[in-house]
Amino acid sequence: MKSFKKILLSFILIAFSFPVMAQVTIGALGGINFVKLNGDAPKKGYYSANSGLNAGLMVDVAVSKTIKLSLQPSYSQEGTKVLYSQGKYVDPIDSIQLRLNYFSIPVLLKVQSSSKHFYAVGGFETAFLLNYKLTSHEKTLPNQLSISSFNLAAIFGAGYRIFLGRPVLFIELRYSQGLINLTDEPIDKSYIPRVKTSGFKALIGIELPLAK
């Protein structure tokens, strides 16, 4: 965790060490997370995505004509459903849901096409757990989970810009893959044993260049 903080700080210092005349873009984004947990699962159980909200701000700094460094502090709802198989001809039962609420800081590189409409995005997202809620059949379960207060995920995606004069509207699809276990509890001692996050984020937002 300490090493990643050093990397994050280095990215920020590099971004703002460029000349003041460098192209800086600010903006806001929002969308839906379709994230689930992957890893050990309870007997006859498997994980399904639990949709949640994603909303944040962004600051992009151009490091070349085609590459931008983007910092995006966000509020991110993630989580999972645990489905249990009841037999060959019976639908799985959704009996446990876990909601994770994070303050996340994606640090990303955007590589845009020559037309500036299409772009690819990649980087890392560090997230700090604000709180979580574990429910079963809409009833809150006792706090019996030992969940990491920190998550780290790799981000890959693509987006498309629509120019509206000076403001720019964009849509983006990202894939997020967690890199650390959220819990190390043995499978027989926890509702949610050793797992990592993974899933998709569908986002829409607006950009506003500060320089003409």
What CATH number is attached to the domain comprising 183? 2.40.160.20
Report d(CA 148, CA 151) in Å as an integer: 7
Whole-structure pTM value: 0.79
Residue 18 corresponds to which tokens in the numbers above? 């460029």
Q: How many domains does the chain have?
A: 1
Range of 91's domain? Answer: 2-209
Q: Environment class of residue 137 by beta-carbon count within 10 Å: exposed (0-12), middle (13-18) or buried (19+)?
A: exposed
CA distance 63 to 58: 16
Per-residue pLDDT of the chain (212 residues; tens, 9 = 90+): 555 555 555 555 555 555 444 689 999 999 999 988 877 666 666 777 788 999 999 999 998 889 999 999 999 998 887 776 665 544 545 567 888 899 999 999 999 998 889 999 999 999 999 988 877 766 665 566 678 888 999 999 999 999 998 899 999 999 999 998 887 665 555 566 677 889 999 999 999 998 76
Strand 168-178 to 150-163 pairing: antiparallel
Cα–Cα distance, 99 to 179 (Å, whole number): 19
Looking up tokens 């994603």 gives 54
Q: Which two tokens stand for residue 179?
A: 């890199």
